Amino acid sequence: MKLIALDLDGTLLNNKSLISNENIDAIRYAQNKGVEVIISTGRPHFDVFSICEKANISTHIIGNNGASIHFKDKKKLYSIGIDKKDVKGILYWLTDKNFYYEVSTNKAIYTPFNGKDMLKIEADKLISSNPKSINTKEIYKSYEKQFIQAGFIFVDNYKDILDRNDDFYNILAFSFDEEKRKAGMDYFKNLNKFSVFSSGNHNFEIVNKHTSKGASLERLASNLNISLDETMAFGDNYNDVSMFEKVKYSIAMGNADENIKSICKLVADTNYNNGVAKMIYEFIN
């Protein structure tokens, strides 16, 4: 094994959004054995570098679901964005439909200043309509997690974002209203202009139609002169499928959706039980 690709949320991170000491040690162990380690995530590269620095580890990074690739020394290998005119159309539609959104660029994550209030109103509505069947703690935790990433800039409206001279990598829309969320996904998929997928229970994401974690993993592996036959990838959600289709060993986390588990060659322990570390040691040893 010469390359290991790791999704972040729900995979490498535990339920406290931290990289456990066990996973940190396993990454270092793999690197000391000559294995290249990549974090491949929907998060922007600058947020991932911040997480890695806090954990005192260094890895290559595929950010924004494949829209950017950075080496562990922070040099950029590749990026592909969404045209500004398309960003304008997307944000106009999301605003009109009252979606919370995040726009990830090469510099920051832009989001409406009232975003947290928007999500709380939706969460309260969901809980009040299903008080006995809803896990209240999980619902509030799921939207509060959106705001712990590095690089947030709050804006009055989407036009403030378009005034920036940034490269637009990824747009995430979030809603607790399942019908509304599905309608949003279907609308953008039917345009046939973008790659649209879900990376969590309450979101969908929009990137350039030529963007995926898998395509960027293949590009980075080629740059590192590593055959895909010598690679493995860990993940827990639908934005990881493109990686699973490229690597020799696809590994779903124990906490992943059953559909994700069914398409992978192996299933690891859960993200909160150091599944990544256990599987790394098993393969390398």
Q: What is the mean pLDDT of each run of 10 residues along the chain (285 residues)?
A: 97 95 98 98 95 97 98 97 98 96 96 84 75 69 72 92 95 92 97 93 94 98 98 97 98 97 98 98 93
Q: How far apart are CA 87 and CA 18, in angstroms?
A: 32
Please tell me the predicted confidence (pLDDT) of residue 133.
Answer: 63
Please tell me the predicted confidence (pLDDT) of residue 206.
Answer: 98
Among this protein's residues, is 7 annotated catalytic? yes
Please tell me the predicted confidence (pLDDT) of residue 131.
Answer: 64
Please tell me the predicted confidence (pLDDT) of residue 147.
Answer: 72
Please tell me the predicted confidence (pLDDT) of residue 71.
Answer: 98
CATH 3.40.50.1000 domain position(s) in the chain:
3-80+211-284
Other CB atoms within a 10 A radius of the CB of residue 205 amount to: 25
Reported pTM: 0.90
- End-to-end alpha carbon distance in the chain: 11
User: What number does CATH give the domain 3-80+211-284?
Assistant: 3.40.50.1000
Please tell me the predicted confidence (pLDDT) of residue 167.
Answer: 97
φ, ψ (nearest 5 deg) of residue 157: -155, 170
CATH 3.30.1240.10 domain position(s) in the chain:
84-208
Instruction: Give Cα separations from 41 to 99, 127, 237 (angstroms).
Output: 22, 30, 11
- Give me the amino acid identity at 72: K
Q: Tell me, which fold does domain 84-208 have in CATH?
A: 3.30.1240
Please tell me the predicted confidence (pLDDT) of residue 151.
Answer: 86
Please tell me the predicted confidence (pLDDT) of residue 137.
Answer: 72
Please tell me the predicted confidence (pLDDT) of residue 132.
Answer: 63
